[in-house]
């Protein structure tokens, strides 16, 4: 999906959430900062670049992989991982 289209979708969803649930921009900004820092670096990204390590065999896999290429273990266990 094109990045600018994704940005439109995210903004539209946020506006709907603000209207329906009364959320504020400050809450969104605070949550974004929290997610940004979840990898230990305030760099505008949720996680560091590089391979995703399998928690079972510890081998590196492509970041987009769902299952470990080497042992078949499920390595993406959360929807936004």
Which DSSP symbol is given to 54? Answer: P
The span from the first CA to the last CA of the chain, in angstroms, equals 18
Residue 69 binding Zn ion, by CB under 5 A: no
Q: How far is the CB of 59 from Zn ion (least distance, A)?
A: 5
Which DSSP symbol is given to 70? Answer: T
Q: At residue 10, what are phi and psi to the nearest 5 degrees?
A: -60, -45
Binding Zn ion (rule: CB under 5 A), the pick from 18, 47, 65, 73 is 73
User: Of 46-65, which residues contact Zn ion (CB under 5 A)?
Assistant: 54, 56-57
Q: Give the interface with Zn ion as residue ranges (CB under 5 A).
A: 54, 56-57, 68, 70-71, 73
């Amino acid at each position: 999906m094109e990045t600018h289209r994704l940005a439109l979708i995210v903004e539209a969803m946020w506006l709907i959430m603000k209207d329906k649930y009364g959320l504020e921009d400050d809450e969104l900004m605070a949550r974004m900062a929290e997610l940004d820092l979840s990898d230990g670096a305030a760099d505008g990204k949720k996680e560091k670049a590089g391979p995703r390590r399998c928690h079972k065999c510890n081998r590196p896999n492509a970041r987009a992989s769902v299952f470990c290429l080497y042992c078949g273990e499920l390595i993406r266990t959360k929807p936004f991982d």
